[in-house]
Structures are given as structure tokens and as C-alpha cells.
């Protein structure tokens, strides 16, 4: 079955709108993806027909809502190859998932001075700052892989050693588009007894991800970058580890029993889902997973590889454009950051917006990555299953206009 981008686009109502008098060219899916009608409808139906609170109501609506919420957990578990739905913890977003691990695992491991946590220079701030705070609390030391000129992780044989307790690395960079081959890092970490978290915020939406094949201990990703709604993220963790970890947020739903003298906690995943969760959002994420599964993640990934190859070639041909990150589609995804000689990314983004072309500009919540390439900001075009070669052409025409305004 060939991938039919025209048919896919017909599922996304927003793609028919205009921006500033031009057809919308949405090239900011690494920031947040658009939602198909199937996701929007599933959430509306839930709110119109099945709304109740979960895990606490005996009435029909509450039971339906609980079943819808847990169905979504099951879908997400199957999507990433989890052993059981109980390994799926719903969070607010990837940021909360990473903070959960930093807090709970940090406490479980009783980190102390002399222990080390390893990250990289191509991380999103959400996979830097929680570890900096954990190091401040515990006296542990933060270390990191550098990044090569080509936008790859720089090999460093001594970085992961017997002092390393946690390794937290991005699977696919939100700036450079690099897909990191993490197998060596995971193997090395496990060899020294360290645990591995992978930030899969940019990989799970775009390529087949199987937690068994990755062999990591935790992965984090978020609903709104994979056709789902905002407000829901996912932490997958090995059940045996989750079962040993103390709670992160405390309150309703995460308890076994509470007395005025003390509390015992529920088993995972409930232990990590204090308070009323994002229920309709979980339903929406479940619908998004259904949508992606029906298309097939291999097909989605192949489409994006084709678009990325076309975009790399097209942008390389635009004089004055410098691409940051891998120059060929191998080992990279459809997120492409670049500079336009002599023009600040804000100005690039503003001119493109006037032509209906929506890109992200700025530091992309990854200031160290920008600093590594000697720039304060970049322009980023990011693609998804609905991106067409015509849209890449529109981007290239927009860049010509940018140079005209600022030339």
C-alpha cells in the first residue's frame, strides 16, 4: 500500500485554512502537530456522551469514562511495545514524565556526591534542567556527551563509568533532527549498572519505536506531537522499576490507604497519577494512536524520509542557507534547522508567516545546542505525515522573499 498524502491531508481540517491570505503551510510539527478529525471527534464524543471521573465512580458514566481512559492506556502500551499497560504512566507532557523520573528515581537510588548523571549537549531544556536540579539536591555530578559538527553525539568512552547512575539521552533531537543510535549507550550504561531514560518526544510520533528493542528503562513522550491533544504525556517504565520508585506528586488516586498517621501507596501506574487525570486527552491520544497504527509507522516514517531528502536538497540549493545537523536523510528525521546568512531567525519566521508558512524560530528550548553551533537562534522547519513537497517548495520561495526584504 502506498502512502497517500492527499488522503491523509483530507483528515486534517486545519490544513484547509488560510494564513495571511495564503494557504496554510504548516512546518512546525516538532513543536506541536495538527490533529485529524478522528481525534477531535473522539474527544468531542467522550465529552458529549461519556464524561465522568475515572477510577472512583460506580455510576454508568464514571464506568464508561474509566473504561475509555484505560483503553487509551492499552493502546499506547501496544503502540510502543510495553509488556503491560501498567507500564504506561499518563503525565501532563514529556517534561512532567522526565521530572517524575528525576525526582522519584533520584530518591530511589539515593544519589549522593560522587554519583554521576549523563546527558548530552543536544538535549531539550526539559532533559537538562531536571537533572541539574537533581544534582543540586543530591550533590551528584552532571556530565554530558558533546555534539560533532555533523550534529551527531560525540563518542566518549570514559563518560559512562562505574560512577554513572542515570543516563538520559534524546532519541531524536528536536533541533538537529538527529536520530541517535542509542544501542551502544544503553548497553554501556547497563554494563555499569546505570539506568537509561530516553526522551522520545520526537521519535515516537515519527518512527516505529519499540521499548523492548530500545532496551531502555524509561522513555518519555507527549501526546500533542503525535496527532493527539495537549495536556497529556506518557512515561513508559519497566514495571519492576516503577514498582520500587516512590511517588512524585501526591494526592487522590495514588493511594492504597490513608490515615491521619500516614499513607500507603497504590501500585503503578496509579501511584504516579495523583489527582484527576487528563481523561478526554487520554481518549484523544488513544484515537491518535489508532490513526497512526492504521497508517503504519513504517509508512509514516518512509514518507517523512522522502520529504526530508527533498527538503535537504531544496534548501541546500538556496544560496545563503546553512543547515545545522546531519546533511543527509540517513540517521535523521524530518526536523530541519537552518540559518539564513545575515538574517535573524525572527525575521525569517515573520516573512515566512506573511506567506502562510509556519516555522519555529528561536532557541527551540535547546540553548546549549544552539550555542554548540555558535548561534543564538535558528529557524526550524519540521515535517509530518501530512507534509508535501509543494510545501517544501513554498518554504524555498519564502526564503527567496526573506532575502529580498533583508538583502
Nearest distance, CB of residue 257 and other proteins, angstroms: 44
Interface residue with other proteins among 39, 169, 351, 394 (CB under 8 A) is 351
Task: List the alpha helices (DSSP H) in 296-388.
Answer: 297-316, 345-354, 367-372
Q: How far is the CB of 224 from other proteins (least distance, A)?
A: 19
Q: Shortest gap between Cβ of 338 and other proteins (angstroms)?
A: 16
Handedness of CA 72, 74, 77, 80 (dihedral sign): negative
3-state SS track over 168-185:
EEECECCCCCEECCCHHH
What residues contact residue 88 under an 8 Å CB cut-off, 6+ apart?
73, 76, 77, 82, 234, 235, 236, 269
**Catalytic status, residue 370:** no
User: Is 122 an interacting residue with respect to other proteins (CB under 8 A)?
Assistant: no
Strands 233-237 and 218-222: antiparallel
Phi, psi angles (nearest 5°) of residue 283: -60, -40
16, 20, 83, 212: residue in contact with other proteins (rule CB under 8 A): 20
Q: Based on CB atoms, which residue is closest to other proteins, 177 or 356?
A: 356
Binding mask 321-350 for other proteins (x = CB under 8 A): ----------------------xxxxx--x
370 binds other proteins (CB under 8 A): yes
Indicate which single residue of 376, 389, 390, 400 sits in contact with other proteins (rule: CB under 8 A): 376
C-alpha cell at 302: 518512509
Cβ at position 351, least distance to other proteins in Å:
6
Number of shown-chain residues binding other proteins (CB under 8 A): 18
Least Å from the CB of residue 346 to other proteins: 3
User: Which of 135, 200, 365, 370 is flagged as catalytic?
Assistant: 365
The three cell numbers of residue 5 are: 498524502
Q: Does 400 sit near other proteins (CB under 8 A)?
A: no
- Applying CB under 8 A, which part among 75-83, 159-167, 169-177, 360-368 lies near other proteins? 360-368
Nearer to other proteins, 22 or 163 (CB): 22
Our CB check for other proteins shows the closer of 377 and 399 to be 377
The binder of other proteins chosen from 9, 190, 367, 397 (CB under 8 A): 367
The one among 62, 146, 331, 362 contacting other proteins by CB under 8 A? 362
What gap in Å lies between CA 14 and CA 2, rounded to an integer? Answer: 24
Our CB check for other proteins shows the closer of 112 and 346 to be 346
Indicate the residue among 238 and 367 with the shorter CB distance to other proteins: 367
Distances (CA, A) of 78 to 71, 85, 208, 212: 11, 8, 12, 11
128 vs 227 by CB, closer to other proteins: 128
CA atoms of 135 and 154, how far apart (whole Å): 23
Collapsing DSSP to helix, strand or coil, 26 comes out as: strand
User: Which cell is 25 given?
Assistant: 503551510
Q: Supply the minimum distance, in Å, between the C-beta of residue 406 and other proteins.
A: 7
Are the C-beta atoms of residues 222 and 93 closer than 8 Å to each other? Answer: yes
Minimum CB distance to other proteins, residue 124 (Å): 14
d(CA 233, CA 216): 18
Q: CA 112 → CA 106, 246, 359, 388, distances in Å?
A: 9, 17, 43, 51
Catalytic machinery residues: 365
Contacting residues toward other proteins, per CB under 8 A: 20, 343-347, 350-351, 354, 361-363, 367, 370, 376-377, 405-406
Amino acid at each position: 500500500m502506498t502512502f497517500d498524502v492527499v488522503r491523509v491531508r483530507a483528515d486534517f481540517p486545519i490544513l484547509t485554512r488560510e494564513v495571511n491570505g495564503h494557504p496554510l503551510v504548516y512546518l512546525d510539527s516538532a513543536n506541536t502537530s495538527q490533529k485529524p478529525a478522528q481525534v477531535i471527534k473522539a474527544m468531542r464524543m467522550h465529552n458529549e456522551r461519556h464524561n465522568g471521573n475515572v477510577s472512583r465512580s460506580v455510576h454508568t458514566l464514571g464506568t464508561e469514562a474509566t473504561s475509555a481512559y484505560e483503553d487509551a492506556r492499552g493502546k499506547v502500551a501496544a503502540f510502543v511495545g510495553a509488556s503491560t499497560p501498567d507500564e504506561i504512566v499518563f503525565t501532563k507532557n514529556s517534561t512532567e514524565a522526565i521530572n517524575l523520573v528525576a525526582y522519584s528515581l533520584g530518591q530511589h537510588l539515593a544519589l549522593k556526591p560522587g554519583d554521576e548523571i549523563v546527558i548530552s549537549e543536544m538535549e531539550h531544556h526539559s532533559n537538562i534542567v531536571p537533572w541539574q536540579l537533581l544534582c543540586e539536591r543530591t550533590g551528584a555530578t552532571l556530565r554530558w556527551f558533546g555534539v560533532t559538527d555533523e550534529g551527531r553525539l560525540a563518542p566518549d568512552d570514559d563518560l559512562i563509568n562505574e560512577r554513572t547512575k542515570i543516563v538520559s539521552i534524546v532519541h531524536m533531537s528536536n533541533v538537529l533532527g538527529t536520530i541517535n543510535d542509542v544501542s551502544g549507550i544503553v548497553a554501556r550504561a547497563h554494563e555499569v549498572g546505570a539506568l537509561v531514560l530516553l526522551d522520545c518526544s520526537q521519535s515516537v510520533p515519527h518512527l516505529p519505536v519499540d521499548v523492548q528493542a530500545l532496551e531502555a528503562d524509561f522513555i518519555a513522550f507527549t501526546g500533542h506531537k503525535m496527532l493527539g491533544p495537549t495536556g497529556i504525556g506518557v512515561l513508559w517504565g519497566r514495571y519492576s522499576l516503577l514498582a520500587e520508585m516512590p511517588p512524585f506528586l501526591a494526592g487522590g488516586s495514588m493511594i492504597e490507604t490513608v490515615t491521619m498517621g500516614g499513607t500507603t501507596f497504590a501500585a503503578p501506574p496509579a501511584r504516579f497519577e495523583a489527582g484527576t487525570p487528563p481523561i478526554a486527552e487520554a481518549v484523544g491520544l488513544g484515537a491518535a494512536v489508532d490513526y497512526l497504527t492504521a497508517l503504519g509507522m513504517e509508512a509514516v516514517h518512509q514518507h517523512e524520509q522522502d520529504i526530508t531528502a527533498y527538503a535537504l536538497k531544496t534548501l541546500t540549493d538556496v544560496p545563503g542557507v546553512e543547515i545545522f545537523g546531519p546533511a543527509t536523510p540517513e540517521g535523521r528525521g524530518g526536523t530541519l534547522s537552518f540559518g539564513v546568512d545575515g538574517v535573524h531567525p525572527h525575521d525569517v519566521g515573520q516573512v515566512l508567516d506573511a506567506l502562510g508558512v509556519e516555522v519555529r524560530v528561536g532557541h527551540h528550548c535547546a540553548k546549549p545546542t544552539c550555542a554548540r553551533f555558535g548561534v543564538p537562534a535558528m529557524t526550524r522547519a519540521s515535517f509530518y505525515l501530512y507534509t508535501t513537497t509543494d510545501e517544501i517548495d513554498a518554504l524555498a520561495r519564502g526564503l527567496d522573499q526573506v532575502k529580498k526584504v533583508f538583502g
